[in-house]
């Protein structure tokens, strides 16, 4: 499909630079085949049934943006995929000053470039003990806010909590699973009262999620891979819920992509512990996910393509046009949408 089909104009004032306070005060656009309505994320439970199961991504965002030097030259790295405890794939800026064999210094945390990829991608090996890698990033890195936020204000202490979900437990993401940012204990209590269960899966979201699609046709785009896991216990719970007539509600496109990667053509969700580079565009046959809760995405992005595949391209273009007119806040710290699948 032509990438321009997924383009739209977004006024700068619609980009959220901070989350709603409290988190569950965010608005929620409910998109169904029969129409679009307005609600708030705190009232999510009234759109679901007691046999439905919410699936959260429990990845934890690490401070994956590092500023340092190669000699006298300034270098910025954004980590995007862990290859081992001390070896990471990263995007370097400027890439031409980050060459094979170069030694980098991030204010005492040193590293070496051990491989050079395309479009600024580098493989970096850090000079630190495996057990100390996470602590080293906590000491030397900053939260890797998306460029549409970081270009408008500096990252600060508040982002350390704002850019982390209440489910975060598994270190490894360098971008938040932002649909989960809306959830609070108050909101989870309302879901519990209705008997709506939730389970966790893990997909370590990479910085590649923010990369622009540079091709003209979607078939020519290559996704960066991300590592994910669905345990046997969680897979069994989800399959049992569906067998009882419950629906699988993916909280975020990351949860959806992982579930669809693990599902067979019969809709059975299998245990999964591997990389996925699944790229979902209109025409895809969804096998595992019945409802999707997600934030508002960038024009011409792989995520807007995914939601268009789920709810229909025309429906999503109409929904985004209405959201913009209605003052919804977009992107990572913005409002939410609850999407039901297109009938065709």
Pick the more confident residue, 313 or 222.
313
Q: Is 70 part of a structural domain of the chain?
A: yes
Q: Report helix, strand and coil shares of the chain as percent, to nearest 5.
A: 30, 30, 40
Q: Is the pLDDT of residue 222 over 90?
A: no
Check which CATH number belongs to the domain holding 289 and give it: 3.40.1780.10
Q: How far is CA 318 from each of CA 27, 39, 190, 220, 308, rounded to the nearest angstrom?
A: 17, 17, 30, 26, 11
Q: DSSP string of 192-250?
A: HHTT-EEEEEEE---GGGG----SSBGGG--PPPEEEEE-HHHHHHHHHHHHTT--EEE
Q: Is the pLDDT of residue 52 over 80?
A: yes
Same domain flag for 181 and 236: yes
Q: Is the pLDDT of residue 209 over 80?
A: no
Same domain flag for 110 and 13: no
Same domain flag for 92 and 46: no
Q: How far apart are CA 227 and CA 173, in angstroms?
A: 10
Pick the more confident residue, 80 or 331.
331
Q: Is the pLDDT of residue 106 over 70?
A: yes
| Omega cis (within 30) before 136 | no
Percentage of the chain beyond pLDDT 90 is: 88
Place of tokens 């057990």: 131
Lowest mean pLDDT among 45-59, 148-162, 204-218: 204-218
Same domain flag for 89 and 220: no
Q: Is 151 part of a structural domain of the chain?
A: no
Q: Is 153 part of a structural domain of the chain?
A: no
Q: How far apart are CA 103 and CA 100, in angstroms?
A: 9
Q: How far apart are CA 72 and CA 246, in angstroms?
A: 59
Strand 248-251 with 291-295, pairing: parallel
Structure tokens at 69: 């030097």
Q: Which residues does residue 235 pair with via DSSP β-bridges, in sequence order?
A: none
Structure tokens at 290: 């019945």
Its pTM stands at 0.94
Same domain flag for 86 and 186: no
Q: Is 146 part of a structural domain of the chain?
A: no
Per the structure, the complete domain to which residue 193 belongs is given by 3-61+163-339
Check which CATH number belongs to the domain holding 71 and give it: 2.40.10.240
Q: Is the pLDDT of residue 193 over 90?
A: yes
Same domain flag for 198 and 273: yes
232-247 pLDDT, tens digit per residue, is 999 999 999 999 999 9
Q: What is the pLDDT of residue 212?
A: 76
Q: How far apart are CA 270 and CA 266, in angstroms?
A: 11
Same domain flag for 92 and 211: no
Which residues, other chains included, contact 12 with Cβ-Cβ below 8 Å and sequence gap of 6+? none
Q: What is the pLDDT of residue 10?
A: 96
Structure tokens at 141: 């890195």
Same domain flag for 262 and 181: yes
Rounded to an integer, the average pLDDT of 72-78 is: 92
Same domain flag for 53 and 126: no
How many structural domains does the chain have?
2
Q: What is the pLDDT of residue 318?
A: 97
Q: Is 52 part of a structural domain of the chain?
A: yes
Same domain flag for 262 and 288: yes
Q: What is the pLDDT of residue 54?
A: 98
Q: Is the pLDDT of residue 344 over 70?
A: no
Q: Is 154 part of a structural domain of the chain?
A: no
Q: How far apart are CA 183 and CA 57, in angstroms?
A: 12
Confidence of residue 100 (pLDDT cuts 50, 70, 90): very high
Q: What is the pLDDT of residue 118?
A: 79
Same domain flag for 30 and 114: no
Rounded to an integer, the average pLDDT of 196-202 is: 97
17-35 pLDDT, tens digit per residue, is 999 999 999 999 999 999 9
Q: What is the pLDDT of residue 236?
A: 98
Rounded to an integer, the average pLDDT of 298-307 is: 96
Rounded to an integer, the average pLDDT of 228-235 is: 98
Q: Is 36 part of a structural domain of the chain?
A: yes
Of 141, 172, 203, which residue constitutes the final position of a domain? 141
Same domain flag for 98 and 178: no
Q: Is 222 part of a structural domain of the chain?
A: yes
Q: Is the pLDDT of residue 231 over 70?
A: yes
């Amino acid at each position: 499909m032509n990438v321009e089909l997924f383009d739209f104009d977004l006024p700068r004032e619609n980009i959220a630079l901070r989350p709603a306070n409290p988190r569950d005060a965010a608005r929620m656009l409910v998109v169904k085949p029969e129409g679009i309505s307005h609600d708030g994320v705190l009232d999510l439970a009234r759109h679901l049934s007691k046999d439905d199961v919410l699936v959260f991504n429990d990845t934890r965002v690490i401070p994956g943006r590092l500023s340092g030097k190669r000699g006298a030259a300034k270098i910025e790295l954004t980590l995007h995929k862990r290859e081992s405890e001390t070896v990471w794939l990263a995007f370097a800026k400027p890439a031409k000053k980050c060459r094979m064999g170069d030694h980098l210094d991030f204010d005492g945390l040193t590293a070496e470039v051990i491989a050079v990829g395309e479009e600024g991608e580098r493989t970096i090996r850090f000079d630190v003990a495996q057990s100390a890698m996470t602590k080293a990033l906590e000491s030397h890195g900053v939260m890797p806010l998306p460029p549409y936020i970081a270009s408008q204000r500096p990252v600060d202490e508040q982002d350390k909590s704002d850019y982390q979900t209440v489910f975060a437990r598994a270190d490894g993401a360098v971008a938040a699973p932002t649909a989960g940012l809306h959830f609070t204990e108050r909101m989870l209590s309302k879901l519990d009262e209705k008997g709506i269960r939730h389970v966790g899966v893990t997909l370590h979201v990479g910085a590649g999620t923010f990369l622009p699609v540079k091709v003209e046709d979607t078939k020519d785009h290559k996704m960066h891979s991300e590592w994910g896991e669905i345990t046997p216990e969680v897979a069994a719970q989800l399959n049992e819920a569906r067998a009882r007539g419950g629906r699988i509600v993916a909280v975020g496109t990351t949860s959806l992509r992982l579930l669809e990667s693990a599902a067979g053509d019969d809709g059975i969700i299998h245990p999964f512990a591997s990389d996925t580079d699944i790229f979902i565009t209109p025409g895809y046959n969804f096998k595992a996910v019945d409802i999707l809760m997600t934030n508002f995405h960038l024009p011409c992005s792989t995520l807007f393509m995914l939601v268009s595949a789920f709810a229909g391209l025309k429906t999503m273009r109409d929904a985004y046009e209405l959201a913009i007119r209605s003052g919804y806040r977009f992107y990572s710290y913005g409002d939410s949408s609850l999407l039901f699948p297109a009938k065709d």
